[in-house]
Amino acid sequence: MSKLLRHTPVEITERQALSINPAKTCQPIGAMYASLGIHGCLPHSHGSQGCCAYHRSTLTRHYKEPISAGTSSFTEGSSVFGGQSNLLAAIQNMFTVYEPEVIAVHTTCLSETIGDDVPQIVDKADKEGKIPAGKHVISASTPSYVGSHVTGFANMVKGMIKGLAQPKTKPNGKVNILPGYVEPADMAEVKRLARMMGVKTICIPDTSGVTNGPLTGEFKMYPDGGVTVAELQDCSNSKGTIAMGFWASADGARYLDTEYKVPCSILELPIGLGCTDAYVDALRTIAGAAVPKEIEFERGQLVDMISDYHQYFYRKKVALVGDPDQLIALTDFLVSLDMLPIHIVTGTPAGKRFTSKIEEITRDIGYKVNVREAGDMFLFHQWIKQDTPDLIIGNTYAKYIARDEDIPLVRHGFPIVDRVGHQYFPTTGYRGGMRLIEKIVDALLSRKERDAPVETFELVF
Amino acid sequence: MATKSKKPAEISRESLASFKEEVLKKYPPKVARKRSKQFLLNEFQGEDAPQIEANVRTIPGIITMRGCTYAGCKGVILGPTRDIVNITHGPIGCGFYSWLTRRNQTRPDTETSENYIPYAFSTDMNENDIVFGGEKKLKQAIREAYALFKPKAMAVFATCPVGLIGDDVNAVARDMKQEFNDQGIDINIFAFSCEGYKGVSQSAGHHIANNQIFTHVVGTSDTVTEGKYRINMLGEYNIGGDAFVIEDLLHRCGITINATFSGNSTYDDFARAHTADLNCIMCHRSINYVAEMMEIKYGIPWIKVNYIGVESTVKSMRKIAEYFGDQELKDKVEQVIAEEMPAVEAVLKDVKPRTQGKTAMLFVGGSRAHHYQDLFREMGMTTLAAGYEFAHRDDYEGRKVIPSIKVDADSRNIEELEVHPDPALFKPRKSAEELKALEDCGFEFKDYKGMMPDMQPESLVIDDLNQYEAEELVKKFRPDVFCAGIKEKFGIQKMGIPMKQLHSYDSGGPYAGFVGAINFYQEIDRLVNTKVWGYIKAPWQKKPELVASYAWNDA
Ligand code: SF4
Ligand code: SF4
């Protein structure tokens, strides 16, 4: 079959300046996604309108849901004189026409380069009476030339806490959950586990019910889901914060700690057996209660599945590309299945913290592991050409590599624009682990069956 | 409450006219004033036709469908060409989002022919580059790209911060071309100052792309394609394979497509574009500039064509044959039409009873909101409202209004190239008498009459429609199908109205030519008659009263 990525050579040459086939995207889209996790919130992109159009399109393709967001629609004039008047007008127009509870402003590389001071402009809007009583405007600085979409998400999580949390009053007995840059279904699952443990939570942000809504015959610009303003205002009164995923959640959690003395634990994303165990264990400690039978039952089912299909996982090589938080949890899970995660690439500049963590998890697998932060999918592909894995785990773009190299692909991460399921079915928690296993087994065995000669084609696996 | 069960407003002059008032009421006065000029009932035609305001800034905070200049330049015009290494100079986002997301299909000649469409190249600027300038990095990126791929051409696209920090992409391109040429490497490198904020929409990007392609590429190759009737197809981007259909159709008539701008195209197409004998424009908005300039510089006349809709396809094919004037060609065209029609008629016969009398709304692009009305008409459907996302007044009212369009600050931003006849290459394709003779028989050169004259008086024309207005339109009139883009799709469908994407075709298509028309008829039939909208209410929501109908309840 003709190759799609036909110009990618096996030989790797170091590149200093040219990025090819990115494994990340820019901050504002992460900020926009996080903002959608506040109930009644209209995200706003302070920059020229192309960024906003691109971010909305990409989120829409990923979720197949309406994604509303405003833009300051900069023109040449605004980029010379600054975007203050655009933002002031935008705030007024949005409150009048779209009536949100909150507007969450994020910047773009344009407004950042110009140097617009968004908090100061918001202040001005407030003084000029452009923010109706009881309504809110929050903001986050999200320069696209720093970090990645994950950084943007983290910045907006911190921004919503900073913008809405009120000084401590009386303890609410709740736990703040910062679920990380995961799917709405994942957030719902994390909340469900906490509920089963008897822990009351404030999930910051919470896109469940927002970016995976039902078809009801009515267009709700502000769907029922999302963490409410009241909850965010109250999060300073929580007894603690469980933050999941260092890159997406640590900043927000630490802010709550330093500013409001809400202690935090920073965990990995609860994807796979070990990381979910850590989450449940943390909830147990906080709740001071025994883990209920129902959760142990789910865990037992996951372990059962692993034992049933272990022979198909054993020493199968996997290449993974995605976001740092996801990659760490996934790598941990794969290692626990006795699989071999051999090529691991994130586009996010995640530093040594990321690479050492991966090295630590894979230290004992007895196989050479390639790991790169601030890498791209071109390098990922070259590694795959050099040492062919049995499976690829990555977003939709990985399918070009999968087809060229004839390797099965399990879609995971952002964006997934060609398959359904990620919105509705979690990969977090024990049930999420089961879903991942289902997908991996299906991919591996379908391939085995496709390639099996007549004499070894089997009925039972 | 299911919006489905609400009775839609009667379509009448009054209801349409009052819609405008109702909608504008919600806006702050300044916004209402501005929007009211972009919003009209299509009731007057001819001399009395009202003006519509178009190609003006979107109001900050209003949720628009529009994108940016970079998208229009890199995404729309240059995106579909497969053998140019397109480097986005900027932070990673812009390059990422324009990576494979427009469905520009392309068919490389061989297994090893160049095809960079599945790749995204970017300088991925970081903070350091923003502070200290990114020119050095850009140069290095170009060197690295050449070392890896050895392409015959590279293009550089500026994103928002680039202009602000003072990076001169054109100078870098010039220097790098020189650097390679000095080493004896034959490569063309050019750049586009298409920073997102340059214009009010994608439209500015089209213009910038046209200018640079015309300046740096068109006319650089003298290889002439073989064929008796040689045309260029302009403004056809091969979404969902449309260009393949048109190529096949014209090829069967004996017409050679010398170059396509830019669906399924190569760099060489652009380079030899000046050798064609006729330019045929599909999407007037995005590409008319190049046609105009080619006419002045090389003497190639242009005509407007349209391959969306069977009637328009037939007309366009005959128009090309008439231009060349040979009976042999005319016969061939008629033969091809005759070959295609039975299949079209059979499908229409099947589909039309189910689509007849239904209604549509189209808000998209700079030509499709017009072109696709033809297909709906063929299915017996009425267009209630239509508008463009980024077109200009001439696309609504026809080219006759061009002299009266006021040039505002935003348009003045985009360079108008001064073009003169090329001393060596200018060659009139037809003598003045020949042109006159054609015109006397009603043949129209350089003309596009726009969308409004083709719409019925009881219809709304709305420019740069936004999310709120779209929602109100749907709530009030409940069309049977709504056409726009991906961002609009799911909000409309939540209201129980099928939405057809006319940018990306929802992964469907092709919709051009006869084959395409058949696909479209069937697709719309599927959409307007699908059972899914009937599932929105659960049985117990339709009949909420509790009746003790189960025997075991009585026990
Ligand atoms: S990189 Fe910057 S200019 Fe590009 S889409 Fe992201 S925010 Fe917009
Ligand atoms: S108006 Fe339509 S055909 Fe023209 S460039 Fe836009 S999407 Fe393409």
C-alpha B145 – ligand 1 centre gap (Å): 22
Task: Please confirm, yes or no, whether B478 is among the known catalytic residues.
Answer: no
User: Minimal Cα–Cα distance from B198 to chain A, Å?
Assistant: 6
Return the half-sphere exposure (C-beta side, CA atoms, 13 A cut-off) of residue B106.
30
CA separation (Å) from B225 to A132, B70, B232, B484? Answer: 66, 32, 11, 38
Q: What is the pLDDT of residue B46?
A: 67
C-alpha A109 – ligand 1 centre gap (Å): 6
User: Minimal Cα–Cα distance from B69 to chain A, Å?
Assistant: 8
Q: What is the pLDDT of residue B1?
A: 34
Interval A10-65: pLDDT, tens: 999 999 999 999 999 999 999 999 999 999 999 999 999 999 999 999 999 999 99
The finding on whether A109 has its CB within 6 A of some atom of ligand 1 is: yes
Structural domains in chain A plus CATH codes = 27-163 (3.40.50.1980), 175-293 (3.40.50.1980), 301-456 (3.40.50.1980)
Range of weakest confidence among A450-454, B53-57, B249-253, B411-415: B411-415
Rounded mean pLDDT, A401-419 = 98
- Respond yes or no on whether ipTM tops 0.95: yes
Nearest to residue B339, comparing CAs of B275, B410, B248? B248
Of the candidates A70, A92, A217, the beta carbon closest to that of B3 is on: A217
Contacts of A220 in chain B (CB under 8 A): 494
pLDDT band of B4, cuts 50, 70, 90: very low
Chain B contact probe: residue of A67, A76, A81 with most B CBs at under 10 A: A76
Residue A392, classed as helix, strand or coil, is strand
- Is it the case that residue B482 has pLDDT exceeding 90? yes
Q: How many separate helices (H) and strands (E) can be counted in chain B? A: 23, 14
Which residue CA neighbors atom 8 of ligand 1 most closely? A51
The Cα B374–Cα A220 span in angstroms is 33
- Is it the case that residue A324 has pLDDT exceeding 60? yes
Interval A152-186: pLDDT, tens: 999 999 999 999 999 999 999 999 999 999 999 99
Interval A259-306: pLDDT, tens: 999 999 999 999 999 999 999 999 999 888 899 999 999 999 999 999
Task: Please confirm, yes or no, whether B68 is among the known catalytic residues.
Answer: yes
Residue ranges of B 432-471 with Cβ closer than 8 A to chain A: 467-468, 471
Q: What is the pLDDT of residue B248?
A: 97
DSSP conformational letter for B235: E
Mutational test site, ligand 1, from A26, A27, A74, A79, max ligand atoms within 8 Å of CB: A26
Interval B407-436: pLDDT, tens: 888 888 899 999 999 999 999 999 999 999
- Is it the case that residue B3 has pLDDT exceeding 50? no
**Strand-by-strand arrangement of the B359-363 sheet:** B39-41, B460-462, B382-387, B359-363, B481-484, B499-501
Q: Does B132 touch chain A (CB under 8 A)?
A: no
Q: Report which ligand 1 atom has the smallest distance to the Cα of B161.
A: 3
User: Minimal Cα–Cα distance from A163 to chain B, Å?
Assistant: 20
The finding on whether A152 has its CB within 6 A of some atom of ligand 1 is: no
Question: Would the CB atoms of A400 and B118 count as touching at under 8 Å?
Answer: yes
Residue ranges of B 293-352 with Cβ closer than 8 A to chain A: none
Residue ranges of B 29-58 with Cβ closer than 8 A to chain A: 31, 57-58
For B126, the domain range is 69-198
Question: Would the CB atoms of A16 and B161 count as touching at under 8 Å?
Answer: no
CA-nearest residue to B63 within chain A is A70
Q: What percent of chain A has pLDDT over 90?
A: 97
- Is it the case that residue A254 has pLDDT exceeding 60? yes
CA separation (Å) from A153 to A136, A161, A182, B295, B411? Answer: 19, 13, 10, 51, 36
Chain A contact probe: residue of B88, B157, B490, B492 with most A CBs at under 10 A: B490
C-alpha B433 – ligand 1 centre gap (Å): 53
Question: Would the CB atoms of B536 and A216 count as touching at under 8 Å?
Answer: yes
Of the candidates A112, A145, A218, the beta carbon closest to that of B1 is on: A218
Interval B302-345: pLDDT, tens: 999 999 999 999 999 999 999 999 999 999 999 999 999 999 99
Q: Is residue B307 included in any domain, yes or no? A: no
CA-nearest residue to A73 within chain B is B60
Mutational test site, ligand 2, from B503, B505, B506, max ligand atoms within 8 Å of CB: B503
Q: Is residue B355 included in any domain, yes or no? A: no
Q: What percent of chain B has pLDDT over 70?
A: 97
Task: Please confirm, yes or no, whether B216 is among the known catalytic residues.
Answer: no
DSSP conformational letter for B79: T
Of the candidates A50, A76, A92, the beta carbon closest to that of B67 is on: A50
Comparing B457 with A324, the larger pLDDT belongs to A324
Burial label, B2 (beta-carbon count in 10 A; 0-12, 13-18, 19+): middle
The finding on whether B192 has its CB within 6 A of some atom of ligand 2 is: no
Question: Would the CB atoms of B60 and A397 count as touching at under 8 Å?
Answer: no
User: Minimal Cα–Cα distance from A61 to chain B, Å?
Assistant: 7
Interval A66-90: pLDDT, tens: 999 999 999 888 888 899 999 999 9
Average pLDDT, chain B: 94
Contacts of B66 in chain A (CB under 8 A): 49, 53
Average pLDDT, chain A: 97
Nearest to residue B195, comparing CAs of B83, B54, B73, B377? B73
State the DSSP string of A193-254. HHHHTT--EEESS--TTTTT----SS--SS-S-SB-HHHHHHGGGSSEEEEESHHHHHHHHH
C-alpha B161 – ligand 1 centre gap (Å): 9
Phi first, then psi, for residue A130 (nearest 5°) are -85, -10
Contacts of B3 in chain A (CB under 8 A): 217-218
DSSP conformational letter for A366: S
User: Minimal Cα–Cα distance from B504 to chain A, Å?
Assistant: 11
Q: What is the pLDDT of residue B544?
A: 81
Rounded mean pLDDT, B80-89 = 98
Q: What is the pLDDT of residue A286?
A: 85
The finding on whether A26 has its CB within 6 A of some atom of ligand 1 is: yes
Burial label, B446 (beta-carbon count in 10 A; 0-12, 13-18, 19+): middle
Rounded mean pLDDT, A209-238 = 97
Domain count, chain B: 1
Tokens of B166: 């003072």
Rounded mean pLDDT, B484-502 = 97
The Cα B553–Cα B194 span in angstroms is 72
Q: What is the pLDDT of residue A78?
A: 85
Q: What percent of chain A has pLDDT over 70?
A: 100
Rounded mean pLDDT, B215-228 = 94
- Is it the case that residue A388 has pLDDT exceeding 90? yes
Q: Is residue B359 included in any domain, yes or no? A: no
**Stated pTM of the model:** 0.97
Contacts of A71 in chain B (CB under 8 A): 58, 60-61, 63-64
Peptide bond into B15 cis (omega under 30): no
The finding on whether B76 has its CB within 6 A of some atom of ligand 2 is: yes
State the DSSP string of B129-140. HHHH-SHHHHHH
Task: Please confirm, yes or no, whether B71 is among the known catalytic residues.
Answer: yes
Q: Is residue B75 included in any domain, yes or no? A: yes
- Is it the case that residue B551 has pLDDT exceeding 80? no
Nearest to residue A329, comparing CAs of A283, A365, A276? A276
Q: What's B128's domain CATH number?
A: 3.40.50.1980
Contacts of A378 in chain B (CB under 8 A): 119
